[in-house]
Structure 1
């Protein structure tokens, strides 16, 4: 009973703090661009539909148990997709889902964050078209603490421990996972271009985006789909880093053309 009350108090507190501290990210509009939504209601994303997506490469950082967007991009556009997620539940989910390569979906998407492997349309996908990098993306190569969510039924772990108010607890509430920089991922998979980069990594995005923007111009993604998770977990330091990321993206020539819900943003680069 007490834990339920504490959770409700935390939710109310976060809502108040969100209204007081929420960052203002300017959305410049679509300007004739064809914004398209693909995926489930929970795990879907908006992107700009262009001919460049056909047979291109997408890196999807943070997969969880809903890879509906990634699968549909691969299935419709013959895109090479690299999923990046070391979460144990995600590893199991992706393994089961990819067993159905070559088959159409036999069930519908659920409204939750966990999709049934049978719900993915994989009929046009080839073996090897969707790859799974079982590492976290971070600012260095090696290993990193991956903090568990408060609810053991949830899938999303976090390097920043965002779901636990960023606390660096001494308790064993984390697992250790391998981590790679964006540069190392590009080298490992011999990438020469990135059409779409999706980032959903529970608060770590503000640490990783600066490294992404240091890539050579030819390797900068044409579209960046980012979830600024810390917007939902108010913290002054995070908000500043979030605004810095937005500012630096614009300095690199990106335009924010779409916002979905409170914290999902779509940036495009000509």
Structure 2
């Protein structure tokens, strides 16, 4: 049995690296479990970053603002996400330390109160239409990971508003998104499909395919779904520049990729 598990693990690791085209100048931002690699020579004070899915770890979101001065918009309709954001502001105002509660909980935010001038929290989810939907509770008590797609097959839920990414961009008067982070517990397939259908101007996409963590023995079927969506992004003109074995991926649109490679 252990031999089989080892073989599956090797297969998963190998499959996760298919189609990866390395991009020079990537740096890691965020906590151990909620961070991503992003291009170091890409974002600036005029950049627009959408971070969809916050939970209780907005380490990447905050570092996009503190490192590059980018305009960061955080989207999450869950009450605990807003509470976490507001608590961080309060701690920053008092000069007190505050930890991201996700992952190992060891990440300490390094942000000053004035830096929140470039960070905005919007209590809405992102989906493929504007409506009120059910966000189903995770199976683990007090885990901050509610899911529209009921990823963990539970019965309790919270109702909350969602909207299309295109609608949100229009409401904020944004013609493009420089960086989009998607961590939304199984809804990433729908949101990516929707943004491609609407041909939105999104230059860099960071996405965690959360189904991989809840595959319940269906590893190959899950990887196939992930690859189907990844291939749609590749076909739409994105390059996969980074991927890890549990399918957190970084896609860079080819025009941006080529510009960064030439620097």
TM-score for both structures, normalised by structure 1: 0.80
Whether the 8 Å CA contact 1:104–1:122 is kept in 2: the answer is no
User: Which among 35, 42, 45 is matched to residue 44 of structure 1?
Assistant: 35
1:137-176 aligned within 5 A: 137-164=126-153, 171=155, 173-176=156-159
Whether the 8 Å CA contact 1:65–1:115 is kept in 2: the answer is no
Structure 1 residue 35, shift from structure 2 partner:
1.0
Whether the 8 Å CA contact 2:65–2:115 is kept in 1: the answer is no
Provide closer, same or farther for how the CA distance between residues 138 and 83 of structure 1 changes in structure 2, counting only shifts above 3 A: same
Structure 1 residue 44, shift from structure 2 partner:
1.4
CA–CA distance in structure 2, aligned partners of residues 246 and 230 of structure 1: 14
CA–CA distance in structure 1, aligned partners of residues 102 and 164 of structure 2: 33
Q: Say whether residues 1:98 and 2:89 are aligned partners.
A: yes
Whether the 8 Å CA contact 1:66–1:113 is kept in 2: the answer is no
How many residues end up aligned between the 2 structures? 246
CA–CA distance in structure 1, aligned partners of residues 115 and 100 of structure 2: 22
Q: Say whether residues 1:220 and 2:201 are aligned partners.
A: yes
Q: Say whether residues 1:210 and 2:193 are aligned partners.
A: yes
Whether the 8 Å CA contact 2:72–2:119 is kept in 1: the answer is yes
Listed as ranges, the gaps of 5+ residues in structure 1 are: 1-11
Listed as ranges, the gaps of 5+ residues in structure 2 are: 256-263
When structure 1 is superposed on structure 2, of 207-216 and 149-158 the one drifting more is 207-216
Whether the 8 Å CA contact 1:62–1:201 is kept in 2: the answer is yes
CA deviations over 1:59-80 (Å, ceiling 9, x no partner)? 0011110111111110111111
Q: CA RMSD in A?
A: 2.9
Q: Say whether residues 1:178 and 2:126 are aligned partners.
A: no
Q: Say whether residues 1:28 and 2:12 are aligned partners.
A: no
